[in-house]
Amino acid sequence: MYVPKKLAALASAAVMALALGACASEEPATPTGGGAAAEPEVAPASNLTELVEQMGAMQEEASSVHVEMAYSGELAKATGMDASTSTADIAYGGSLTTTTMQMSMAMMGMDMDLILVDGVMYMGMGELSDDKYFSMSLEELAEDPSMSALLDQMDSIDPTAQAEAMADAVTSFEHTGTEQVDGVEAEVYTMTVDPTKIDPAAAGLDESMVGEMDESMAGEMTITYAIGPDGLPLESDITMDVDGQELVVESTFSAWGQPVDVQAPPKADVVPYSEFAKQR
């Protein structure tokens, strides 16, 4: 029977796969992607390593992105995830301490807001956190066993690390043609992944998550990317079979290179995570 713990593991796998091409950069560049059709700047990739290198190089220039995620398939309908959404605005830095991010998730009746500013993570969970934000330094995240997996996932948004994580797990990779995405002719790539062969450390997953995936997932995971002529991802679909039911994670990427304005919550709305942890 499908349980939320398994959902968390699979969601982590989805985020890992979507972060495959994410890259750290310190300097913003001219906005690209998602606009009118443009002359191709990069040739179609022939394998995963080449695709990662192309996306990494272009995303290093763009340095920021807006991401929207939605869920479909039998499992999404059965669990109510088809009404769930996730959005994120990210400005990549040279490291997590210089990366800025705001991610909002509405999933299965729970709202969550994650803010990363100046090396501090703020987590708001609505009524579950008394409408307050817990603040955690990156050091606290690393030291807390219940939160360290989140840090691993954040720290894994690097194309080289992701390529290493996926290298032994990809069972097929194919350039499957082109399609129109928001007026742009995008190159489409389809690959299948054996989730049991993903390197958990490089992918930002812990061993318990991998165990949940092994128990729940039947067969391979299919990932489809639509890449714009500038080498930046525009769409991504991840399809997996969980306990005999299909789950599809659909993502769109836009506003590449646009300024990202993320502010820490007001001090009156912030509670140190250390105080919360003492009460557990």
- pLDDT truncated to tens, each residue of the chain (280 aa)? 333 444 544 454 444 444 433 433 333 333 344 443 344 477 888 888 888 888 878 888 888 889 898 889 998 888 888 888 889 898 987 777 888 999 888 876 778 899 999 989 999 988 888 889 999 988 888 787 767 666 655 554 444 455 666 778 889 999 999 999 989 999 999 999 887 787 665 555 556 555 666 666 667 888 898 999 988 889 988 888 888 889 898 889 899 999 999 999 999 999 998 776 665 5
- At which residue do the structure tokens 């995620």 appear? 69
| Cβ atoms of 92 and 22 closer than 8 Å | yes
Torsion of CA 186, 188, 194, 200, to 10 degrees: -20
State CA 118 to chain mean position distance: 20
Strand partners, 240: 247
Closest CA to 16 of 128, 169, 219: 169
Mind giving me the DSSP string for 67-130? EEEEEESHHHHHHTGGG-EEEEEEE--SSGGG-EEEEEEEETTEEEEEEEETTEEEEE-GGGGT
Torsion of CA 18, 24, 27, 32, to 10 degrees: -20
Per-residue pLDDT at 74? 92
Query: How far apart are the two ends of the chain, measured CA to CA in Å?
Result: 28
Q: Which domains does the chain have, with CATH numbers?
A: 4-28+40-256 (2.50.20.20)
Can you give the pTM of this predicted structure?
A: 0.78
- At which residue do the structure tokens 């990779």 appear? 173
Per-residue pLDDT at 40? 47
Going from the C-alpha of 223 to that of each of 20, 106, 247, 255, the distances in angstroms are 11, 23, 12, 22
Q: Do the bridges between strand 133-137 and strand 270-272 make them parallel or antiparallel, or are there none, so unpaired?
A: parallel
Per-residue pLDDT at 168? 81
